[in-house]
Copies of this chain bind each other. A is one copy, B any other.
Amino acid sequence: MSFWAGYPEVQRELTRVQHLLQLETAGPGGIISRALQDLSGRDAKLLRPGFVILAARIGNGGKDLTEGSIERAAAIEMLHLASLIHDDIVDGARTRRGGDSLHITLGTRRAVLAGDYLFARSFALFAKSGGQEGLELLTPSVARLVSSVIDESSGLDDPKNSPLPGDRPRFDLTPRRYLHRIVGKTALLFALSFHAGALEGGTPPEELTEPLRRLGYNLGVGFQIIDDLLDITGDPRKTGKPGGTDLRAGVVTLPLILAMQRDSGGILPELANQVRHARWRTTRARALEKIHHRLERCGALGETRSLAERYTRRAEREILRLPPGTDRDILQETTARLLRRSA
């Protein structure tokens, strides 16, 4: 919760969300529950439930939240956790939130079931409190989320049966395709989080939900662009993540896409390959640094930053359409922290 430190009104409600998460993850029992409770207990930003809470407070004028909003916040976090668990299987990622990934602690088979359980419970929880409107928002977003992961994973290596057509990093992606992908992967669930909060106290008025949804959408796109940028340029000591995780998973993001348009057929694919298959951390770091400099020189990083900046400003414009107050101020601060970060 450390991300929300300094916002007691948000933290108080997040405690209720985490309590519900503990109850829900206790469901399957045994080692799967222990693993889920460990994962959901690890320090996470809890961005999505935080957004639900802020949107709900903006809707109800800063009052304590109904159980329904807490349920929707927990449901969205469970959905997020489920997708993380399965993504880590798909990417073969060994760590998550500073600990082992679930497919490492539980083995792949149990990790599949653990994700499925969270998936199903999150829908059940959302169905209980989100009503028809909530579900007609939630369910297509989730399908779109999975499609985006599938699209992204078209570049993954599959030990079981590679090489496969499209089973190589996609350097030919268009920026449009990249944006379509991150909208599905991140922005729709951000937008949904804000909308789910707006459902506090029944059907919300258009003039509240529209700016909230657009805020979530633009915040989500900007957030993902910067996340992908930092995976190449970020200082691991600051980000806390090893660099180049996308490339290692065979995922090509915006900076590389833009650079490829500038010097396609250049040595970027070769460097990316080195990052991906490097035996030693030092070899990988060196290749990643070369990529970093190439992208800087050809202007791809600058263009990426200014695109992120465009979405940041859009998000900030939407915030100003919301009723003024503490919660709006918190939204402004967090948006700035998320979209203007360098780590």
- When distances are taken between beta carbons in the complex, the residues of chain B under 8 Å from A326 are none
Which residue of B92, B107, B158 is within 8 Å of A158 (Cβ)? B107
Q: What sequence of 0s and 1s flags, for each residue 137-178 of chain A, a beta carbon within 8 Å of any chain B beta carbon?
A: 011101101110110011010111110111000000000000
Contact call B113/A146, Cβ cutoff below 8 A: yes
Which residue of B89, B106, B108, B161 is within 8 Å of A106 (Cβ)? B161
The answer to the question of A67 belonging to the interface, with a C-beta cut-off of 8 Å to chain B, is no
Q: In whole angstroms, how far apart are the Cα atoms of A150 and B26 in the complex? A: 13
Closest to A161 in B: B107
- When distances are taken between beta carbons in the complex, the residues of chain B under 8 Å from A89 are 108-109, 112
- When distances are taken between beta carbons in the complex, the residues of chain B under 8 Å from A180 are none
With contact pairs A120-B145, A140-B124, A164-B31 given, residues A86 and B107 touching in the complex (Cβ less than 8 Å): no
Contact call B120/A146, Cβ cutoff below 8 A: yes
Contact call B112/A86, Cβ cutoff below 8 A: yes
Closest to A28 in B: B150
A149 to chain B minimum Cβ distance, whole angstroms, is 6
The answer to the question of A310 belonging to the interface, with a C-beta cut-off of 8 Å to chain B, is no
Q: What sequence of 0s and 1s flags, for each residue 102-139 of chain A, a beta carbon within 8 Å of any chain B beta carbon?
A: 01111111101101110111011011100110011011
Q: In whole angstroms, how far apart are the Cα atoms of A339 and B1 in the complex? A: 54
Which residue of B112, B121, B136, B147 is within 8 Å of A117 (Cβ)? B147
- When distances are taken between beta carbons in the complex, the residues of chain B under 8 Å from A202 are none
Closest to A131 in B: B132
Closest to A128 in B: B136
Contact call A139/B158, Cβ cutoff below 8 A: no
The answer to the question of A32 belonging to the interface, with a C-beta cut-off of 8 Å to chain B, is yes
26 pairs from A and B in contact (CB 8 Å cutoff): A28-B150, A30-B165, A30-B166, A32-B150, A89-B108, A89-B109, A90-B112, A105-B161, A107-B162, A109-B156, A109-B158, A110-B153, A110-B158, A115-B116, A116-B119, A116-B149, A117-B146, A120-B142, A120-B143, A121-B143, A123-B135, A123-B143, A124-B142, A127-B136, A127-B138, A131-B132
Contacts A89-B109, A113-B149, A116-B149 known; 15 new A-B pairs at CB < 8 A? A28-B147, A86-B112, A86-B113, A86-B116, A107-B160, A107-B162, A108-B108, A113-B146, A115-B116, A123-B143, A124-B139, A124-B142, A127-B132, A127-B139, A128-B136
